């Protein structure tokens, strides 16, 4: 089970770690794999600079070994 953390929480993820972000207004799937750069959520190829403001919750994305 994922441990969801509010995007505006004082708890921040480790820089450049893969995350799953809950962002229902951003895309029809409501989730986006992204990273935290120390200031905001982002992902390669995002079409504009508003993605960060659309993230409501995030969780660490565990990669398969």
In the predicted structure, residue 41 carries a pLDDT above the cut 90: yes
Element spanning 23, H or E: none
What mean pLDDT comes out for the span 45-50? 95
**What was the pLDDT predicted at 8?**
96
Residue-averaged pLDDT of the chain: 93
Q: Are 34 and 52 in contact (CB under 8 A)?
A: no
**What was the pLDDT predicted at 1?**
72
| 2-20 pLDDT tens trace | 899 999 999 999 999 999 9
């Amino acid at each position: 089970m994922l441990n969801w953390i509010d995007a505006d929480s004082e708890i921040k993820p480790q820089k450049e770690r893969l995350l799953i972000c809950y962002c229902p207004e951003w895309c029809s799937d409501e989730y986006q794999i992204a990273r935290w750069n120390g200031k905001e959520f982002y992902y390669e190829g995002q079409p504009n600079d508003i993605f960060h403001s659309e993230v409501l919750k995030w969780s660490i994305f565990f990669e398969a070994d």
